[in-house]
Amino acid sequence: MDTTKFDVVTIGAGPGATPAALYLARHSKRVAVIEQGHALGGTCLFEGCIPSKIYLETAKRIRDIQEAARFGLANAQFQELALSVLTERKQKILRQRSLEMQQRLTQLGVTVVYGRADFLDAHHVVVQTGDARKILSADYIIASPGSRPKPLRVPEADDASLWTNAQALKLDTIPSSLCIVGGGYIGAELATLYQALGTHVHVLEAASRILASEDPAIGAYLTKNWSSAINPIEVETDVRVTRIETRPDGRWTVGYNHPLRGFRRKTVDRVLVAIGREPNTGQMAWDKVGITLGPRGEVPVNRYFQTTAPHIYAPGDVNGQIMLAHAAARQSSIVAQHILKKPTAAAHDIVPHVIMSSPEIAAVGADTRSLVMHPTWRVTQWQYQHSVRPLVAGDERGFAQLIWDRATHKIMGCQIIGLGASELISEMTQVMTHQGTLESFVETVHPHPTLHEVVTDLAMKALIEAQSETAQEGGAIRTD
């Protein structure tokens, strides 16, 4: 069997691999990209980030129609969802994004191979392409096979007709009722989507609150908002799902234990398991290249995303550090720079994330759970209703909060729940990345009236609080 030689081979063609492939190809490296799926883009493009946001955009339009009377638009009604039109819109966007990536790689001379890849030895990868096998050799290997849905280990939870996020985003049917097992970011976004489509949604969460990885105030606010919606989303926390049963009529019954109500059953049309994701490492022979997986199946890496085999890198979800597409893309770029002997490292505490619930959620850096460990840190909160743009837009739900250091006025973190949160977090991230302070944020002029005034007003309030605290203690007020 012939072997084709490359400088770099990537296993995977998602955001953990293609940025490195493009960067290295632009620097005259001979690169091959291996993709197991039918097109380039990875889980984010075909089963995660992008399909969910396409559908959530439709959900937002539905809510706008339902609230149109508040803006003087009488008799506006949402009557029917044209699933075929929505599905075609999704497919068109996915095809366009995938084709654009294919063209960019081709223009730079990158070889694209479709098939299932595995390690043959330390410098060789074997690819199963239909009935044929190809062997690729490389000086460096970038292994970025991504992640997969974490399974729910209870009776019948392995039934193929149970939904994961991938099945839920096919949107080939809209159930009248849906039970979502898991109240993390995936569960929150899909609850938002199906609620807007008219489905009665019930969320079961094992932790004491939904969005347990977020600041406690965020999950509490979203739960309250969901409960007061026109089509309320029911939330139960501290529960343990014990079994999922199919019924003769095709529906499902979820059995679970509640700490106060005891054993309960919920019968619904569909069940979605969204308890998180895990590294997709189970189908590759990592032992052949001397790599021992971690306790969660993750690939251990250093700050440059090098594995214990120095010529093999593992950026993205596969290392289990930050399972976000934009984090994977940044890690991929760091890998490429390290291969080219231009090392730079990521700041893992300054990686923003967003949740496209209604209202939107975004956060970066530290939250209020860090205050107990840092006595000089403070928290300041600003309500959306006190800024003009949310009032004009007719959506004054939510708040923004800032974590800052009273000694240095350095911004340590920010959480936002409200209109445009996913866009507002970027400026805060940039300020934090460059060691910005309350002063540096306040001194930046923001146009009026825009949503950016929410975080400007927040920073101004925090600065006033900082100066007041300093004055009360008899210290000098910062003027730098």
Q: Where are the domains of the chain?
A: 3-147+278-339, 165-275, 359-472
Output the CATH code of domain 3-147+278-339: 3.50.50.60
| Cα–Cα separations (whole angstroms), residue 117 to 10, 124, 125, 384 | 10, 10, 7, 49
Euclidean distance between CA atoms 414 and 364, whole angstroms: 5
| 472 vs 117, more confident | 117
pLDDT in tens, 85-106: 999 999 999 999 999 999 999 9
pTM over 0.75: yes
Q: CB–CB of 269/175 below 8 Å?
A: yes
What pLDDT score does 479 carry? 47
Pick from 468, 461, 464, 414: nearest CA to 436: 414
Q: CB–CB of 307/137 below 8 Å?
A: no
Confidence of residue 476 (pLDDT cuts 50, 70, 90): low
Cα-Cα-Cα-Cα dihedral sign, residues 305, 306, 308, 311:
positive
pLDDT in tens, 180-193: 999 999 999 999 99
Domains 3-147+278-339 and 165-275 share a fold: yes
The type of residue at 97 is R
- Alpha helices by DSSP H, 4-140: 18-26, 42-47, 49-66, 83-107
Weakest mean pLDDT among 29-38, 151-160, 356-365: 151-160
Bridge partners (DSSP) of residue 236 are 204
| 479 vs 72, more confident | 72
What pLDDT score does 149 carry? 92
The pLDDT > 70 percentage for the chain reads: 98
Residue 229 sits at the vertex; the CA angle it makes with 223 and 230, to the nearest 5 degrees, is: 155
- Alpha helices by DSSP H, 141-283: 165-168, 185-196, 216-227
Does the structural domain 165-275 have CATH classification 3.40.50.10190? no
CATH of 359-472, one of 3.50.50.60, 3.30.390.30, 3.30.465.10, 3.40.50.300: 3.30.390.30
| Cα–Cα separations (whole angstroms), residue 416 to 188, 326, 383, 413, 447 | 15, 19, 10, 10, 20
| Cα–Cα separations (whole angstroms), residue 151 to 1, 43, 242 | 38, 17, 13
Residue 424 sits at the vertex; the CA angle it makes with 198 and 334, to the nearest 5 degrees, is: 105
